[in-house]
Amino acid sequence: MNTYEIRVTNTQDDNDFCTQQVESSDISALTDLIADGYGISDVAFNYNGYYIVIFAASDEGYLYDIYASKTAYDNEEESLDGGQCTSTLSNAIEMALSQA
């Protein structure tokens, strides 16, 4: 089974975050936690050699960006791809994974 690294950031303090190694089956449980409104503003993880960032859109749903690497994201380089999901966080993750 694949293992992923997920980073969860506090909406009030970008310096308050945790990184967790999870298996694909855990992603669904994590998205349920986020969808229930626990003050989590974004999710970022490595997948297939890409770094994916998903965050709440200001109007509706979630936005996602796909970067060549975490370093590219940290250096504020342009994303390789991205999009918006007007549905649930779980669906946004699925959309991002299908694009990576």
**17, exposed or middle or buried, with CB in 10 Å at 0-12, 13-18, 19+?**
middle
Give the global pTM: 0.65
Tell me the C-alpha distance between 34 and 96, whole Å.
17
**pLDDT value of position 67:** 97
- Using alpha carbons only, give the angle 68, 41, 63 rounded to the nearest 5 degrees: 50
Segment 16-73, tens digit of pLDDT: 777 777 776 666 666 666 555 555 567 888 888 899 999 888 888 899 999 999 999 9
- For the chain, list the domains and their CATH numbers: 3-99 (3.30.1490)
Query: 24-35 vs 89-99: helix axis angle to the nearest 10?
Result: 140
**pLDDT value of position 27:** 67
Tell me the C-alpha distance between 61 and 67, whole Å.
20
